[in-house]
């Protein structure tokens, strides 16, 4: 294809795009070859950043993994996690035989991840709930249920993730389990429920045992991601009928009928963001050494602002954006204590610093570059963490073109942790990410947030 034809085609498609202005996705995004005639490049569009506090809580009800523990983040302070869960009766009309004698009741908890200091001992207490779950309610990361003041049992351990056997011939390793033995008074009380009607159905069982709270105690150490649905997570009652030893197993989240959630409490006293204590408050990165923060479950988000976009529009009239890639660097070596979220999402916001929603109540996230997606909420585009380069990237070609055409406001964007996955219908869904990830976004002169733009002029 000769030069004249290429110029004509570029001009024709650009005019058609601007004339329709229905969806900037119609613009070709494969024109970013720097050697292409008429293509310009810039990475100097200023982007300001800062940290925003949103007190709106994240849904935690039946969101795995359940978590328990306490850690001291050297950057963002103390984070405490408590799991509240119902207990499955493990059958119908449970009986312990004639004249059962209580022996012991042991809770074992399987865990798959450790967040925080893996060298310090962690203490976990188990409490009996005095307030049950309400089937009509949802529970969030700031929700709570009342519990007894004295724990039913306690355990202290230095958590460790053991490698699985590579083959059958390898030696067997011990399971990674928290084991908590309950006090004998409660064990005797449980066995005494036989024949009272409290062990007939799940509903009658919950009238006796509304649930358990698994909470940390002592000095900060770590937070464990619990596998409540694992076979090895169980509450085992050991008892005797005469000389015969027996046991009954109570389980947790094996079925969708068992409710649970995790509560998170953060304490930022003495940190760079300690002054953030009111909903939607904004702290510029210029006041925190060029850093802004994202912390799961405490609703610390990073805001991106394009302060000189109007100047760029004035200096570059009648242009077509071929590609716009946002590069968000993570502070080097900042993920050694706590990992960065694997994915982030860009949400629309305004001067109130809230996540904007459409009329249906769906959050307005930056969408994928596809026809018809700009005004949709069905195709959110995630930023994927690149651990080798310590950065997140996202192609925002359609959204940036829409900003230049005044079809999207230039009121800033919020970076938030989330999970984005394809659904069976072909659309994409954003689900909560409640693991205690944390990331430090760098926006310093030597390591700054960039918008890399390739564009073509129409005249």
Q: pLDDT tens digit string along 110-167? A: 999 999 999 999 999 999 999 999 999 999 999 999 999 999 999 999 999 876 555 5
How much is the average pLDDT of 316-323?
91
Q: Say whether pTM exceeds 0.85.
A: yes
Euclidean distance between CA atoms 105 and 247, whole angstroms: 9
How much is the average pLDDT of 201-214?
97
How much is the average pLDDT of 295-310?
94
**The two three-digit tokens of residue 253, written as one number:** 């989240």
Euclidean distance between CA atoms 109 and 176, whole angstroms: 8
The reply to whether 328 falls in a domain is yes
Examine the domain organization and report whether 290 and 234 are in the same domain. Answer: no
Q: Among 213, 241, 267, where does a domain finish? A: 267
Examine the domain organization and report whether 151 and 244 are in the same domain. Answer: yes
The DSSP H or E segment spanning 310 is helix 309-315
The reply to whether 1 falls in a domain is no
Q: By three-state DSSP, how is residue 26 classified?
A: helix
Q: Is a pLDDT exceeding 60 seen at residue 451?
A: yes
Across the chain, what does the average pLDDT equal?
A: 89
Residue of 221, 210, 230, 226 lying closest to 127 (CA atoms): 210
Examine the domain organization and report whether 303 and 433 are in the same domain. Answer: yes
The reply to whether 205 falls in a domain is yes
Q: Is a pLDDT exceeding 60 seen at residue 195?
A: yes
Instruction: At 191, give phi and psi (nearest 5°).
Output: -65, -30
At 27, the pLDDT band (50, 70, 90 cuts) reads very low
Euclidean distance between CA atoms 10 and 38, whole angstroms: 9
Tell me: the pLDDT tens digits for 263-293?
A: 999 999 999 999 999 999 999 999 999 999 9
pLDDT at 72: 97
Instruction: Taking the CA atoms of 352, 353, 358 and 359 in sequence, report the sign of the dihedral they define.
Output: negative
Euclidean distance between CA atoms 314 and 153, whole angstroms: 68
pLDDT at 164: 55
**The two three-digit tokens of residue 81, written as one number:** 């996690």
Q: Among 234, 267, 300, where does a domain finish? A: 267
Euclidean distance between CA atoms 27 and 43, whole angstroms: 20
At 219, the pLDDT band (50, 70, 90 cuts) reads very high
Contact indicator for 437, 339 with CB cutoff of 8 Å: yes
Examine the domain organization and report whether 428 and 312 are in the same domain. Answer: yes
Contact indicator for 94, 198 with CB cutoff of 8 Å: no
pLDDT at 6: 46
The DSSP H or E segment spanning 283 is strand 282-284
Q: Is a pLDDT exceeding 80 seen at residue 242?
A: yes
Tokens 């001291």 appear where? 72
Radius of gyration of the chain (CA): 27
Count structural domains, the chain.
Answer: 2
Tell me how far CA of residue 65 lies from CA of 295, 297, 422, in angstroms.
17, 13, 20
Torsion of CA 152, 153, 154, 160, to 10 degrees: -120
Examine the domain organization and report whether 294 and 429 are in the same domain. Answer: yes
Examine the domain organization and report whether 154 and 34 are in the same domain. Answer: no
pLDDT at 163: 60
Q: What end-to-end distance do the CA atoms of the chain give, in Å?
A: 21
pLDDT at 14: 42
Residue of 338, 309, 327 lying closest to 222 (CA atoms): 338
Instruction: At 325, give phi and psi (nearest 5°).
Output: -115, 125
Residue 122: how many CA atoms within 13 Å on its side-chain side? 29
Largest CA distance in the chain: 98
At 5, the pLDDT band (50, 70, 90 cuts) reads very low
Examine the domain organization and report whether 70 and 50 are in the same domain. Answer: no
Tell me: the pLDDT tens digits for 324-353?
A: 999 999 999 999 999 999 999 999 999 999
Q: Among 238, 267, 296, where does a domain finish? A: 267
Q: What is the DSSP string of 186-233?
A: HHHHHHTTTTTTTTSSHHHHHHH---EEEEEESS--EEEEE-TTSTT-
pLDDT at 12: 44
Q: Is a pLDDT exceeding 90 seen at residue 32?
A: no
Tell me: the pLDDT tens digits for 33-80?
A: 444 456 899 999 999 999 999 988 889 999 999 999 999 999 999 999
How much is the average pLDDT of 78-86?
98
Contact indicator for 109, 69 with CB cutoff of 8 Å: no
pLDDT at 22: 42
How much is the average pLDDT of 204-210?
97
Examine the domain organization and report whether 225 and 289 are in the same domain. Answer: no
Q: Is a pLDDT exceeding 50 seen at residue 19?
A: no
Examine the domain organization and report whether 338 and 252 are in the same domain. Answer: no
Containing structural domain, residue 365: 20-55+279-457
More confident of the two residues 116 and 170: 116
At 254, the pLDDT band (50, 70, 90 cuts) reads confident
Examine the domain organization and report whether 179 and 94 are in the same domain. Answer: yes
pLDDT at 24: 42
pLDDT at 406: 93
Q: Is a pLDDT exceeding 60 seen at residue 1?
A: no
pLDDT at 38: 62
Q: Is a pLDDT exceeding 60 seen at residue 178?
A: yes
């Amino acid at each position: 294809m000769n030069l004249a034809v290429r110029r004509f085609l570029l001009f024709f498609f650009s005019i058609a795009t601007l004339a329709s202005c229905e969806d900037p996705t119609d613009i070709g995004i494969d024109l970013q070859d720097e050697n292409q005639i008429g293509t310009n490049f810039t990475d100097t569009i200023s982007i300001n950043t800062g940290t925003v506090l949103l007190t709106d809580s994240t849904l935690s009800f039946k969101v795995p993994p359940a978590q328990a523990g306490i850690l001291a983040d050297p950057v963002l302070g103390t984070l405490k996690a408590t799991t509240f869960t119902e207990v499955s009766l493990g059958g119908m009309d449970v009986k312990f035989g004639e004249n059962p004698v209580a022996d012991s009741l042991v809770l074992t908890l399987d865990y798959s991840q450790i967040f925080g200091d893996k060298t310090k001992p962690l203490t976990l207490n188990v409490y009996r709930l005095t307030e049950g779950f309400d089937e009509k309610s949802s529970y969030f990361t700031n929700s709570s249920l009342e519990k007894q003041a004295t724990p039913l049992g306690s355990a202290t351990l230095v958590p460790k993730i053991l490698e699985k056997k590579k083959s059958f011939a390898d030696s067997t390793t011990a399971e990674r389990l928290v084991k908590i033995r309950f006090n004998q008074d409660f064990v005797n009380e449980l066995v005494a429920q036989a024949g009272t009607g409290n062990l007939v159905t799940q509903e009658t069982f919950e009238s006796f045992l509304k649930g358990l709270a698994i909470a940390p105690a002592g000095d900060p150490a770590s937070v464990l991601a619990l596998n409540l649905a694992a076979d090895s997570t169980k509450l085992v009652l050991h008892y005797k009928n005469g000389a015969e030893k027996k046991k009954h197993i109570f389980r947790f989240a094996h079925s969708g009928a068992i409710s649970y959630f995790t509560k998170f409490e953060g304490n930022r006293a003495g940190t760079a963001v300690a002054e953030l204590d009111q909903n939607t408050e904004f702290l510029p990165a210029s006041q925190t050494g060029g850093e802004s923060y994202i912390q799961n479950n405490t609703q610390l988000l990073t805001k991106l602002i394009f302060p000189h976009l109007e100047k760029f529009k004035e200096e570059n009239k009648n242009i077509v954006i071929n590609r716009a890639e946002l590069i968000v660097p993570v502070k080097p070596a900042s993920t050694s204590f706590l990992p960065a979220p694997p994915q982030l999402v860009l949400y629309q916001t305004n001067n109130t610093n809230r996540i904007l929603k459409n009329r249906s109540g769906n959050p307005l996230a930056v969408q994928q570059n596809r026809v018809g997606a700009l005004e949709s909420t069905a195709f959110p585009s995630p930023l994927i963490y690149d651990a080798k380069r310590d950065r997140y990237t996202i192609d925002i070609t359609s959204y940036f073109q829409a900003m230049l055409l005044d079809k999207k406001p230039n009121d800033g964007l919020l970076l938030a942790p989330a999970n984005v996955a394809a659904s069976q219908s072909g659309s994409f869904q954003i689900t909560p990410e409640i693991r205690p990830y944390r990331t430090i976004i760098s926006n310093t002169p030597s390591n700054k947030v960039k918008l890399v733009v390739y564009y073509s002029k129409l005249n």
